[in-house]
Amino acid sequence: MKADIRQLVLSNGQELLCEVIQWPDIDIDEQEVMIIRRSAKIIVQENFEQGTRWFTFRPFMTYQDDNNSLVSLMPYHIMSIGHPSDVLKNQYRKYIKLMSSDLNTEAAEDPFEYHLESNMRGVDSDAPFDNIVPFKIDPNKLN
């Protein structure tokens, strides 16, 4: 299935690129939400002295940088929806690939399996600290 990548402008002015998993049907239920994943906030940065402008991507929500994390978005907070240009789509795909490689995740049979509560049974929260995942910090990257 081809990913439905859209560019959204939210009511607070934020722009984001995301893959739409499920479109809301407001005619049936006014409370229905849009389900998205791989959401990336578009950050505009400028250097007025040099007269340059550049764009970067950041995760839309804190700690939602896993590519399989689903996010629900209220459709009433969306001001505009568009199809991104091919250049923007290519940059977005590079960002998603970079995020995947940074997380060093291997494909599991069920990518949403970690959301199930049954997986947390039998986990001792007072267990030794050997279950902490170390982060690779690249000093050449802007965090």
pLDDT digit string, tens, across residues 43-69: 988 888 888 888 889 888 877 767 678
For the segment(s) 5-107, the CATH number from 3.60.21.10, 3.30.390.30, 3.40.50.1820, 2.30.30.100 is 2.30.30.100
Evaluate if residue 139 carries a pLDDT over 80.
no
Domain boundaries, the chain: 5-107
pTM to 2 decimal places: 0.64
d(CA 49, CA 121) in angstroms, rounded, equals: 56
More confident: 127 or 72: 72
How many Cα atoms within 13 Å fall on the side-chain side of residue 90? 3
Q: Give pLDDT, residue 108.
A: 46
